[in-house]
Amino acid sequence: MADWRAPLMSAVCYRDPKAALKFLEAAFGFEVSMLIEDGDGALVHSEMRYGDAVVMIGNEWSEDHKSPLSIGGKNTQTVHIQITTDVDAHCAGARVAGFEIIMEPATQFYGDRTYRCRDPEGHIWTVAQTVEPVSREQAEEVSGLKITGWV
């Protein structure tokens, strides 16, 4: 049997995870790859795929696992999506779908064009497209930063 698990998955908690599944599918093109429901139709577990990446979408299930909507809009993590299509068009689509754009698309010193958006429950998502190959030396020169581990 093939291993269907991604080597690293993020889990994002929502008050209304079923609404989140529909929203992320419509807004970002994520595909539901696993859906587990109980006898009443309540979501128990779900996973969405975007290419080879997987994100789990779930309920608030403990005092430590909450939607930003339940904790004053605070985020302890953000989700980063690397795309190969037009990031500006992606941003426009996210805006139409209902994401709040909190950082308009901008080209970064490392060669990616990125934007940030907030979903209806307050999760922050960063979306990036590499628009220009940049070497470590170029990135250091432009940014004034010392970079190690650049691949």
pLDDT at 4 over 90: no
Q: Helices 87-97 and 17-28: crossing angle, nearest 10°?
A: 140
pLDDT tens digits, 46-89: 999 998 899 999 999 999 999 999 999 999 889 999 999 999 99
Q: 132, exposed or middle or buried, with CB in 10 Å at 0-12, 13-18, 19+?
A: exposed
CATH of the domain at 126: 3.30.720.110
Domain hosting residue 145, numbered range: 93-151
What are 85-103's pLDDT values in tens digits?
A: 999 999 999 999 999 999 9
> 111: helix, coil or strand?
coil
Residue 38 has pLDDT above 90, yes or no: yes
pLDDT at 2: 52
pTM of the predicted model, to two decimals?
0.90
86 domain residue, yes or no = no
